[in-house]
Amino acid sequence: MDTTSSFAPNVTAPRQPDLAPSTGTKARSKRKWSLAVVLVLVALLGSLAGTVLVARAGDRVSVLGIARDVQAGQKITDQDLTVVSFAEDPGLSPVSAAQRSSVVGQIAAVDLRRGGLLTRSQLTVGGGLGDDEQIVGIEVKRGYAPRDELRPGDKVAAVLLPGQGTSSATSGSKTSTQGTDLISVTVKSLSSPDASGSMVVNVAVAPADGPRLATMAAAKQVALIRQPREGN
């Protein structure tokens, strides 16, 4: 009797699942590409910014700046000026650095503040009193002079206001309009209005009228009227 037994393989045993392919290599590759793209974009932006800066630098010019404070009416010295680089702007017209020598010796028409740019409107030609004129400083209160309308060279009528209970009279080279005394003067320089609106206007006046105008100015009895400018 044949006692040898043959056993068939167990086909019902569960099969081990196949391992999924590893995705680690692909993820690292994607991260490397993303980093490379970011670096390229950063490089492009840096190059573009540099190009813009170079282009803007090409539009800059050398102009005069104010190195220290200068009060209205003072003569400008070389030490009051400095040269700064300025990006050209159609809305601004600072004085070119090449004109520095011509600016020295001129008079500040308004208060100049350190750090600002110098413009022609802030200057008045001349270094002092002429042979045929006197200079009188008039402190005018708010409402006694046109605000933001006066500038050096303007022809102005100085109105002498009568004191309370007095009447005006005509004398010297003054003219009279309906009993009001007027003295013709020329603005030499002026200060910026203070907190109360008052400002000091330095005017050139004929010697015959200087003492009277100064007296009335000291009594705060002067108002200013700007005359029409030539060409307006």
**Residue 49, pLDDT score:** 66
- Domain boundaries, given as residue ranges, for the chain: 60-124, 134-226
> Residue 62's beta-bridge partner residues?
85
CATH hierarchy code of domain 60-124: 3.90.1210.10
- 157 SS3 class: strand
What pLDDT sits at residue 221? 92
Pair 201, 187: CB distance under 8 Å: yes
Instruction: List, in order, residues 6 or more apart from 214 with CB less than 8 Å away.
Output: 136
Residues in the chain where the model's pLDDT stays below 70: 1-33, 47-59, 90-91, 125-131, 164-180, 230-232
Written as six digits, the tokens of 47 are 């190059």
Asked whether 157 and 175 are in contact (CB, 8 A), the reply is: no
pLDDT for the residue numbered 85: 87
Give percent of the chain above pLDDT 70: 66
Structure tokens at 149: 């309308």
- CA 117, CA 145: separation in Å to the nearest integer? 27
Full-model pTM:
0.45
What amino acid occupies position 100? R
